[in-house]
Structures are given as structure tokens and as C-alpha cells.
Amino acid sequence: MTESSEPSSDVPGRLFLTIGRLSRTLRQAGAPGPGTGAISAMATLAACGRMRLGDLAAREGVAAATMSRIVSALVDSGYLYRESDPVDRRAWLVALTEEGERLLAEVQSIRVHELSKRIDRLSAEDKEALMAAVPALEALLEDDERRN
């Protein structure tokens, strides 16, 4: 066995590639609709409630101009709505519409179902290892979530 194929070598690199590939295949299994950035923004709004565009961009880790384009497309499609910020009438808040909530639930359901099918095909040992790894994977996000 070569060094690069040993299970313990280059864990960050292997994890990065594996998570990216798994995410891509799950997105491809999803229903047609908005792209990944849009679905991610919608999921953030579902979890956090209405937000200013700049706050949403910061939480998503993208430029305000990028988020502005995503939000405009989602508003035009009827998945988000804008409302004046009651604290600062010059600013806008964005939030999910009922149609946006429905679409988000549908896309997430399809992707979770696809992931469940893949997990079901794993050996019992791999399922156990995956279950044991979930808290560690969640911990990788905790610092980011606390900052936002």
C-alpha cells in the first residue's frame, strides 16, 4: 500500500474531496430548481428567519453582490420576498415565501432520501463508523456558526 492510499494519510485532503464529491452527487440527485448557493441561502433563512442581505451574504460566506444576484433571482421566482427593515427603513429584509419553504423542503427531502439510500448500502461497520463521525463533523462547523 502506498503512503497516499493509507487510511490515515492526508485526512484533510481526503475529507475535502470526499465531502465535495458527495455533496455534488446529492445535488445532482435533487429536483430541478435554484442552484446550490440559492438553496443554501434559503436554508439559512429557514433556520434563522428574515435577514438583511449583507448579513445573509456574511453567513453564507459570499460577497454582497453575489448574494444580491441570488436574492433577486429568488424574489423573481417567488421563493423569497423583501420587506423594509423596521429598524432602518433604508435597508431591506429578505425571507422565505410559502412557495420557497415548500421548494426547500422538497429539495432537502430528495437529497436526504438519496443519502439514506447510500448509507443503507454500507456495511454495518461503515455505518457505525459514520454514525460515530457525525458529532466530529458537526464540530467542524461550530466555530463558523458561533461567529455568525
pLDDT tens sequence across 45-69: 999 999 999 999 999 999 999 999 9
Q: Is the pLDDT of residue 6 over 60?
A: no
Torsion of CA 61, 66, 72, 73, to 10 degrees: -90
Instruction: Write the DSSP symbol of residue 31.
Output: P
Model pTM? 0.75
In this prediction, residue 2 carries a pLDDT of 44
As a whole-number percent, the residues of the chain with pLDDT over 90 amount to 61
